[in-house]
Structure 1
Amino acid sequence: MRMKLSSMIAGTALALTLTASASAQTLLTGADTNEILNAARGYGAATLTTQSNGDPQITGKIEGITYQVYFRNCTNNEDCEDLNFYLGFLDIKPTLEEINDWNYNKRFSRAYIDQDDDACVEMDLDMVEGVTAEYLDSQFSLWAMVLKQFAEHVGYN
């Protein structure tokens, strides 16, 4: 009986330690622009600039394709609640059927034709509660895949 109790206490202590270390992990928010920029740089060249309203923006390049990450829902041009990954191809004018095919067959992003009939694709990341550096990296990895597949889908060479 004493052995079982001792094993139970040890198991509970281990579970509490693992839970504490997981919750002690640093979470990144939309205020962590330098860490987000560094994540983008893991996939290619990237610079931090500002949007016309003063909110942060990253302009990056993955395999020769330029994209933007817009920081959205910011307070005083910082403490942003979410990120909007954006790619727009000038002068690539897909059909509505091609865009619908993308949206029907792909997950995690949305494609559309903008006001100039150009091909666009976006993906959002909610940062309100924070994300781990690993999760942020996985989102940039997903974005890199979306970017390459969309470029191929609309005929960008």
Structure 2
Amino acid sequence: MLDKAKTRLLGAVLVLASPLLAAEASAERISGREALAVMRAMDLSPELGTDSHGDPQIEFMIEGLHARLNFYDCKKQDGRCGSLQLETALDLEDGTSLRAANEFNQKYRYVRLYLDHEMDPYLQFDFEVLHTDAKSHLESQIELYGKLLRDFKDAMGYY
């Protein structure tokens, strides 16, 4: 059993640690509104909506392309999500080849190029915001995605 002094010490430690734990917990996930604010500050013309599951979804412009930010691993009680996906597609007149898609996928590790039924390419980039400052991490991932989109457009001959 804990004596009175140890109980008080444990209580003091918990009181001091609780704001730190609360701050860490809030930094581990991001809501649609928080992501919208980050994207507005980046001048991406974001529009917040919801997907078919009721999770946040943001449509925006980047590198001259329409794109979407999809939210996954969302907690219903607070609307904060732990996984995000950036997604963009190109509508090419004649589509692209499996070879071009495979070459792109071999070159890049964290992004995947897929082909639709018309052989038009679309790109998906997944990342988590757990155990980090979610807002700063989102900004850095969008900046990285912009660089990947430039390479994507070059590889697909989209100018």
Report the residue type matching 1:35 in the other structure: E
Contiguous gaps of at least 5 residues in structure 2:
1-19
The answer to whether the 8 A contact 2:46-2:58 is kept is yes
The count of aligned residue pairs is 134
Structure 1 CA distance for aligned equivalents of residues 132 and 118 of structure 2: 35
1:33 corresponding residue in structure 2: 32
Secondary structure of the corresponding residue to residue 139 of structure 2:
helix
Post-superposition CA distance 1:3-55 (Å, at most 9, x none): xxxxxxxxxxxxxxxxxx9xx6762513x222211222315211111112221
Structure 1 CA distance for aligned equivalents of residues 29 and 38 of structure 2: 13
TM-score with structure 2 setting the length: 0.72
Secondary structure of the corresponding residue to residue 122 of structure 2:
strand
Report the residue type matching 1:79 in the other structure: R
Secondary structure of the corresponding residue to residue 27 of structure 2:
coil
Matches within 5 A, 1:1-157: 27-30=27-30, 32-41=31-40, 42-76=42-76, 78-91=79-92, 93-127=95-129, 129-132=130-133, 133-157=135-159
Post-superposition CA distance 1:128-155 (Å, at most 9, x none): x343132221111111111222122112
Q: 1:65 to 1:46 in 2, by over 3 A?
A: same
The answer to whether the 8 A contact 1:43-1:62 is kept is no
> Offset of 1:105 from its aligned partner?
1.4
Structure 2 CA distance for aligned equivalents of residues 58 and 143 of structure 1: 15
Structure 2 CA distance for aligned equivalents of residues 28 and 90 of structure 1: 36
Contiguous gaps of at least 5 residues in structure 1:
1-20
> Offset of 1:74 from its aligned partner?
2.7
The percent of aligned pairs where both chains have the same amino acid is 27
